[in-house]
Amino acid sequence: MKNNGHIISKLFRNSVISIILAAIATMVGIVIDGIVIGRFLGPDSMAAYGLVTPVINLATAFSGILATGAQIICAQYLGAGDSQKARRAFSMCMVITVIISAIMMAVFLIFRDGISVMLGARGNSAHLLQPTSDYILGIVFSFPPVLFLFEFNSLMRLDGDANRVIAAVVVMTVLDIAGDLVNVLVVHGGMLGMGLTTSMSYFAALVIMLLHFTKKDIIFKFSLKGLKLKDLGDIVLTGSSSAVGSASSMLRNAVLNQIMVATVASSTAVGALGVVNTVFNFTSSTMLGVAMTTAMIAGMILGEQDRTAAESLVRVTVKTTLFVGGILTALLLIFAESIAGAFGSADGAAMVGMAAKGLRIYALSVILYGINVAFINYTQGMRRMVISDVFCFLVNFPFIVLPALALFGAMDADAVWWSFLIGEFVNFLCIVVLAAVKKHGFPFRMKDFLFLKEPFGVAEENVLDFSVSTAQEVIPASESVAAFCEQKGASEKECMMLSLFVEELSNNIIQFGFSDGKKHSIDIRVIKLEDGWTLRMRDNCRKFDPTEWIKLHNSEDRTKNMGIRMVCGMAKSVKYLSTLELNNLTITI
């Protein structure tokens, strides 16, 4: 018997769909901002919008540190079955978010004119100073909700409330679009109004997400009791790749903006780069949805120390990346002119033409970007931080900026478009080379790209890992457990207990959990430790806590659910945890 990988694959598909939908809804609002600005406020306003991109990247840099770091740390704790530590890390993340968002708001409010000049509103582009400063003034109020929304987007999925995330983002998008149209058609608030509209829509989404924490049956509950600076250190260290990525992206966009400013038609070129960056943010967020799912599940697998699940995760990540990336590439190649044209006005034909060319060239890099960002997020989730940080910096700054600078003299603005493709291709080659060095041969299997930090879990020969999907498989599964335990020197009592536990619990899950007509599976792991045995069972049925059931029904008919009563009575410990809409049961004897 072997693990069929169905639970990890289904978990990934379900999670990635909700994350991508949330990412798309979020980015639709940002894209609409760009479209409304380009069509109603003109090329100069679109150029100012492009100049502010590094500011948005800076906000996501901080939110990326906290959101990704907290997600992975909490997922790792939950994978290890320690919900108390996960709750403590969550609380620390909330405290530091309030502090950072307040500092960011103060800095950008006070120094927005100077920051606008630093971003490129000077020299030939000095006329962009006022709209750039106005947009910063409006959008700066979105910093607190942006930080919280990124964090809640990750943590609420671990808490089994993904639908609320989607609802909040949809409301935010609708309000942003409506507000943009009111601003340009009724209020005539210019770039300041565009920024304020975005900020208000983010606050509305935050209110919806905060309602999650009024529920009783949740993992993450805020408390100032027992906070530890170690948790903050772990969050920052683990989220460092997101910070490196956002910060280096900010620097990259600043350099590319300067290259565009140096062209003859500076406003046209900067505006075209703003269009490409907006579309890049949309497509990259979609691909990042795949990568974020990978990081979240990788953190859980790290806590479980499950090598088989890691291989299943890498396999489904690659398949999903190729599928989603292929669709995005085709759409960009086919509809480049239409997409670019949506951002242009009657006097912006030159910008539209330049942007359409840039989109077609950029489209060729989408799949490579997806693979690269998935690799970075996977190694981040496995807490291989040196690998993750180095690759994140390389692909976001030198691998793109250096080709752009080298080609600029010969190709002008086209050098920027080609630099994205060159950078992603070079980074992908580096990943393959690293895997080859690690393997001492060409990597052609998924397990060659696991990059696990050894020792990882217990030795493979001391683990029995398989799946059960039907009632007919239960007895053979129980017999396999007994044979494995006997082979590994377990006592007769230990063999009997573990095989009996597997039989009773599997039958119980199939009888009550599989009754909804959906396709389900049970992953079973029997682990031989130095001081005993551990049985881990995971299923994707409706939520059911056997330990809580025993407490609530202890005085009722003792013959009812005897399997659960027997397991809880005979085992040394029984721990239950529900996360990512999975039932996780850990039993030690």
Q: How far is CA 508 from CA 262, 394, 495, 518, in A?
A: 70, 51, 20, 16
pLDDT at residue 549 in the model: 66
Tell me the pLDDT tens digit for each residue of 91-137: 999 999 999 889 989 999 999 999 888 888 888 788 889 989 999 99
pLDDT at residue 561 in the model: 60
For residues 471 and 476, give the distance between their C-alpha atoms in angstroms, rounded to a whole number: 10
What one-character-per-residue DSSP string does 77-130 give? HHHTT-HHHHHHHHHHHHHHHHHHHHHHHHHHHHSHHHHHHHTT-SGGGGGGHH
pLDDT at residue 415 in the model: 83
* Mean pLDDT to the nearest integer, 156-181: 85
Which of residues 211 and 254 earns the better pLDDT score?
211
Give the model's confidence band at 554: pLDDT under 50 very low, under 70 low, under 90 confident, else very high.
low
* Greatest Cα-to-Cα distance within the chain, rounded to the nearest angstrom: 85
Which of residues 344 and 229 earns the better pLDDT score?
229
Edge-to-edge strands of the sheet including 463-468? 463-468, 522-529, 532-539, 582-588, 573-579
Tell me the pLDDT tens digit for each residue of 300-320: 898 888 888 899 999 999 999
Give the model's confidence band at 19: pLDDT under 50 very low, under 70 low, under 90 confident, else very high.
confident
Tell me the pLDDT tens digit for each residue of 249-292: 778 877 877 777 666 456 677 777 778 877 877 788 788 888 88
- 491's CB contacts (< 8 A; 6+ apart) are none
Q: How far is CA 116 from CA 48, 51, 276, 380, 556, in A?
A: 9, 8, 20, 33, 70
pLDDT at residue 270 in the model: 72
What one-character-per-residue DSSP string does 249-261 give? HHHHHHHHHHHHH
Tell me the pLDDT tens digit for each residue of 79-96: 888 889 999 999 999 999
Which of residues 428 and 237 earns the better pLDDT score?
428
Q: How far is CA 259 from CA 127, 143, 266, 374, 415, in A?
A: 18, 28, 9, 29, 9
* Angle, helices 53-79/229-238, rounded to nearest 10 degrees: 120
Q: Which two tokens stand for residue 296?
A: 């979240």
Does residue 433 carry a pLDDT above 80?
yes
Tell me the pLDDT tens digit for each residue of 476-522: 999 999 999 999 999 999 999 999 999 989 988 898 888 887 889 99
Helix (H) or strand (E) holding 6: helix 6-36
pLDDT at residue 57 in the model: 66
pLDDT at residue 518 in the model: 84
Does residue 467 carry a pLDDT above 80?
yes
* Mean pLDDT to the nearest integer, 343-351: 68
Tell me the pLDDT tens digit for each residue of 6-16: 888 888 888 88
- Beta-carbon neighbour count of residue 581 at 10 Å? 18
If DSSP codes are grouped into helix, strand and coil, which group holds residue 223?
coil
For residues 295 and 477, give the distance between their C-alpha atoms in angstroms, rounded to a whole number: 31
Query: Which three-class secondary structure string do you get for 412-437?
Result: CCHHHHHHHHHHHHHHHHHHHHHHHH
* Mean pLDDT to the nearest integer, 128-153: 87
542 exposure class (CB count in 10 Å sphere: 0-12, 13-18, 19+):
middle
| CB-CB contact of 34 with 285 (8 Å) | no
Helix (H) or strand (E) holding 449: none
Q: Share the mean pLDDT of the chain.
A: 85
Model pTM?
0.78
